[in-house]
Chain A
Amino acid sequence: MSNLTVSNIARTPGDARVDLVLMAEMIDRGARVLDVGCGDGELLRLLGESRDVDGRGIELSREGVNECVAKGLAVIQGDADTDLADYPDDAFDYVILSQTLQATRHPRVVLEHMLRIGRRAVVSFPNFGHWQVRLQLLFAGHMPQTDILPYSWYDTPNIHHCTIKDFRQLCEATGVKMEKGVALNAWGSPLRLNAPWWFWNLFGEQAVFLLSRKS
C-alpha cells in the first residue's frame, strides 16, 4: 500500500526517511498507534525504538506484511478501504496514514474512520499542487512523473491525487481540526512555518498533518 519507491525519498543522516521522522515527532511517547499502510514497517520500527510506542500495522501487500511480522512487528494483512470498519472507537491514540491516502478508493471514509478509531490522526501525502507537477502537465502535456510519484498513469496505485489545498478542504468538510502541518520541499527540508498556504501548495512536494476531531 505504501507506494513510494523508498530510495527516492529524502533521508536524514541516520538513514531514516525525513517524512517518517517528522511523523514520529508528532506522536507522544508511549502512545498506542495504528499505522495504516505500514509498508515494510520502517515507521513502526522507528516509533518503537525512538518513542516507545505500542504500534500495530495494516498493510495490503503480503510481502510487506510477512517482512513486518518477521521483524517482530504486530502487522496484519488488510485494506484501508475495507478493514478499518472492524476496529472499535477510540482503540488508538494515533492512527497514521503515510503516503497512502491517494491510493485509497474512498479517502474521505478512510479519514473519518481514522478519527473514529484514533483520537488523533497523522496523514502524509504527495502534494499534487507542487510546481514540478503543475509544470509537467502545463508544458509537457502528460501526467506528471516525479521522484515521489514515479508511476505511469496506467499502472499507478494512486487514484485520488490531491493538493495541500484540496486536503485542507477535505478536513473542513469532514469536521477535522488541523493541529500541526509540515510541508517538505523536493530536498526533504521543511518549508518555513510562517509561509502562506499558497506557498506550501506550490513548493511543498509532500505534506504531513497532525489532525484531531473538532469537539
Chain B
Amino acid sequence: MVEANLTSQREAAEAPREADDPRDSLVVRFGPDKPLKLDAGVELSPFQIAYKTYGTLNAARTNAVLVCHALTGDQHVASDHPVTGKGGWWETMVGPGKPIDTERYFVICPNVVGGCMGTTGPASTNPKTDKPWGLEFPVVTVRDMVRAQAMLLDHLGIETLFSVVGGSMGGMQVLQWAASYPSRVFSVLPIACATRHSAQNIAFHEVGRQAIMADPEWRRGRYQLEGTFPRRGLSVARMGAHITYLSDAALHRKFGRKFQDRENPTFSFDADFEVESYLRHQGISFVERFDANSYLYLTRAMDYFDLAADCGGVLANAFKGTPTRFCVISFTSDWLFPTSESRAIVHALNASSARVSFAEIVTDKGHDAFLLDEPELFAIVRGFLDGAGNARGLARQNIAAKS
C-alpha cells in the first residue's frame, strides 16, 4: 500500500506534463484564429486536441469512425496507456478484425475538452498566465466537447463520419453529434447512455466532487501550483463512482462477503473484505492517471447534459428529419443509465421516423458492461456497422490498409 501511494504521488506529478505534451498521441493546436466557442459564453483560445488514429482513411474519406470516450477514458482506445502501461480501454471492440474493424474503418479517438490527457483542460498550462488553468478553466459541456471534435475533423479534412460510437459520457457525445451535425454522421451507436443526466446521477457526481474538494490537498483547485495532489479525495470519488458502474449481483458474484487474505475479521477498519480491498485498489490506481480538477469539470459536463432542453423540451425535435442510422444499446443490470433511458431515445427517434435499432443485452455486469467482454454486444455492434458499411458502399477491407 505504501509503495502504491509513492507511485501515485510520482505519477500525479507527471499529470501536468501529460496534459500539455501527451505521449504516444497526435496533437492539433488551434491558434487565436480558431477559438472554441463554449456554451458558457466564453471562447477557449488557444487550445489543443490530443487524439489517436487507427487504420487508414480511404480515398473517398468515407470510412472514418469517431470513438468518444467516457468520463475517465482517453484517446488510448486500442493501444497501451502511456501512464499505466495497460492495454487500450476498448481493445476488445476496436482493432483489426474486431467489431470496429480497423482494417475497414479509420478510427479517430480524441481526448475530450476538459480532459487531462493532452486536450486542453484544467491541468493544462494557461498560456496567458503560464500556470495551470485550475479552476480558472471555463466550465465545458458535452456540446463543447463535440464542437471541438468537429473542429478536429475539419482540420483533418473529414466532412462526414461513417459512424460515431461511445458509451456512457461517450454515448452522450454520440447523441450530441447526431443532434448537432445530422448531415455529418451516417450512423451512430450510443451505448449505455441517456439524453439527460438524471437527478440520481447528478447526486452521485456531487458526492464525488465534494470528496475531492474536502481533501485539504485540493487547495481550492491550486494543488499543481502548491505541489500537492488531492489523492484521497479523488480516490474516494472514484470508489463511490465505481460502485455505480457495477451491480449488486456482480459484486456478490465477484466478492460476496469473502475476507481479504484472512480467515477472521480483525475487528478494525482495515480492508477485511475483498470488496473493500478491490475498491481501495480502484481508487489508488485511478489517481495515478487522472487529474482531480478534470474530474470536477467532466462530471459537471455530464450533469449539464440535457438534449431535450436544448430543443424546446421536446426530445423528438433533436432528431427531426434525421438521415442518420441509430443503434441504441442498453444493459439489463445498468442502474446508472437504465434501459428506460435508452427507450426514451428510441421513442423520440420513432416519433422522428428515424432509422433506429435498439437492443437490450442481458448481463449482471452493470453499467461497466459496455467495456467488458460481452459477446452479444460485439455481435450487435459488428452487425450494425457491417450493415451500415454496406449501405455506405464501404469496401469490406480497406485497400489502402492492406498496402
- Residue positions of A touching B, CB distance < 8 A: 54, 56, 62, 65-66, 68-78, 83, 86-88, 91
Contact = CB atoms under 8 A, between A and B. Distances in A.
Nearest to A90: B353
Contact of B327 (A62, A69, A71, A88): A69
B379 A88 contact: no
Contacts, number: 63
Interface string B361-403: 1100000000000001001101110111010000000000000
A65 B359 contact: yes
Contacts of A65: 358-360
B355 interface: yes
Contacts of B360: 62, 65, 77
A75 B390 CA distance: 17
B207 interface: no
A75 B358 CA distance: 6
Given A66-B361, A70-B382, A91 B327 contact: no
A199 B360 CA distance: 45
**Max chain A CB contacts within 10 Å: which of B347, B357, B387?**
B357
Interface of B: 325, 327-328, 346-347, 350-351, 353, 355-362, 376, 379-380, 382-384, 386-388, 390
Nearest to A70: B383
Given A69-B384, A76-B357, 20 more contacts: A62-B359, A62-B362, A65-B360, A69-B327, A69-B358, A70-B379, A70-B384, A71-B383, A71-B387, A72-B386, A72-B387, A73-B387, A74-B355, A75-B357, A75-B358, A76-B328, A76-B356, A76-B358, A77-B359, A86-B347
10 contacts: A66-B361, A69-B358, A69-B359, A73-B357, A74-B356, A75-B357, A76-B328, A76-B356, A76-B358, A88-B353
B386 to A, nearest CB: 5
A74 B347 contact: no
Contacts of A71: 383, 387
A139 B329 CA distance: 51
A1 B371 CA distance: 31
A76 B346 contact: yes
Nearest to A56: B355
Given A72-B386, A72-B388, A86-B347, A77 B358 contact: yes
